[in-house]
Amino acid sequence: MSSRLPPAALSLKQFLQRQKVLAVYRNMLRTIRQVPDEADRKYLRDWAREEFKRNKNATNQDVIRMMISQASNHLEELQKSLALARS
């Protein structure tokens, strides 16, 4: 009896990790939209897109986990900078 899943189906762990990556990416783009200067906004948006695109074929779970952590740290720093700029 063969599996009903397509051959390229993700494992549960891979699926959950993919959801984390997408959540960080969406939050990064949402946060970048709050950057007041248009040139800075474009630079950050292009940088984020390139970073995620460059790493989209990564398969090592530990490496992906590390990249999620780094992206989350970058996001946190950007959010802190924006909060300081507003106050």
Confidence of residue 5 (pLDDT cuts 50, 70, 90): low
In whole angstroms, what is the distance from residue 31 CA to residue 76 CA? 10
pTM listed for this prediction? 0.83
Give the contacts of 41 (CB within 8 A, at least 6 positions apart): 32, 33, 35
Whether 61 contacts 17, CB under 8 Å: yes
Whether 31 contacts 75, CB under 8 Å: yes
**pLDDT tens for each residue of 8-42:** 788 899 899 999 999 999 999 999 999 999 999 99
Whether 28 contacts 74, CB under 8 Å: yes
**pLDDT tens for each residue of 34-55:** 999 999 999 999 999 999 999 9
In whole angstroms, what is the distance from residue 43 CA to residue 16 CA? 29
pLDDT confidence of residue 87: 80
